[in-house]
Amino acid sequence: MSVPLTEHTAILSKYLDLPQKGKILAEYVWIDAEGRTRSKCKTLNKKPNSVDDLPEWNYDGSSTMQAPGHDSDVYLRPVAYYPDPFRKFDNIIVLCECWNNDGTPNKFNHRHECAKLMKAHADEEVWFGLEQEYTLFDQYDYPYGWPKGGFPAPQGPYYCGVGTGKVVARDVIEAHYRACLYAGINISGINAEVMPSQWEFQVGPCEGIKMGDELWIARYLLERTAEEFAVKVSFHPKPLKGDWNGAGCHTNVSTKDMRKTGGMKVIEVALSKLAKRHKEHMLLYGADNEQRLTGRHETASGDAFSSGVANRGASVRIPRQVAKEGYGYFEDRRPASNIDPYLVTGIMVETICGSIPDADMAKEFLRETSDE
């Protein structure tokens, strides 16, 4: 298939400015069997006042590996919507859950169980902040901006770098940043990462189920933005073998009691719980994560749990300022860049806030999500 290197955005812009005669374009977004976003657009006759005004829709699940061909309809149930930075006006992006026609959540709908866990522990007021690392490739699957047939200089000048030869694709990153802000995503920052052509954006703090929702939409916006620059986005935790950093999705966590004076003791209790369930967490912390968690390149070994103050080689890092002040949050550095945030935030809440009445719910959550 022969296509232009980039979209004809200059030509397209004059059409995007045409009036829509009162119609609203709603881009329905969902997560497929491989943990990537898919989308299609529906015309609405009026602007919705709430998510309840958005109609249920469906798609061919056999084409996304979410249903067999003889029973392929999968239903899209809107759960949140956001202003569309690409079409603008009153157009929206709609995040959906996937449901089977028998009224059960689709096997790959991890949001449903996560939302139940968040509701069960809502009194804990759990805040999350996710640091999404990713790597850029060109249309031929070569690291974006790397010298053809060779390698860039060793890691060192690229992290938070400035200047030619140190950073690449800043235009893509800036465009994505503005798209997230326009859409109302609580994006809290960006930075160039340790490996050249690798970047990070941070989303949060978000409470409960909103963390997973906003990260998924931020990922969708990133890939949609990158389309226009003919750049591919990889969320693989170790996209390049050798002496190069992998990509993670560090997960920052705090409950209301951790944020109070004396909260360090609450954090220490949470760490002891995490240590006991290390293997269970690792099952949900991303595919191919063992390629990244080697004990090198600012990671701990995935085989055992560890923690430490300001230690980026530990499973969980306690920020220096938190240790000094005695309250705040902790950073779980184990999750890979390709995690489903619903799985990670769900098991995190169950582990650190779990109570006996919710044990069966957590067991079912782990049983369903570990089979994949």
Domains of the chain: 9-108 (3.10.20.70), 118-370 (3.30.590.10)
**Cα–Cα distance, 330 to 275 (Å, whole number):** 14
Q: What is the pLDDT of residues 289-298, one digit of tens each?
A: 999 999 998 8
User: What is the reported pTM?
Assistant: 0.93
pLDDT tops 70 at residue 363? no
Q: Which residues have CB under 8 Å from 313's CB, separation 6+?
A: 295, 298, 299, 300
Q: What is the pLDDT of residues 279-324, one digit of tens each?
A: 999 999 999 999 999 999 889 999 999 999 999 999 999 999 999 9
Is 244 in a helix, a strand, or coil?
coil
Q: Which residues have CB under 8 Å from 344's CB, separation 6+?
A: 249, 251, 284, 285, 335
Q: What is the pLDDT of residues 227-267, one digit of tens each?
A: 999 999 999 999 999 999 999 999 999 999 999 999 999 99
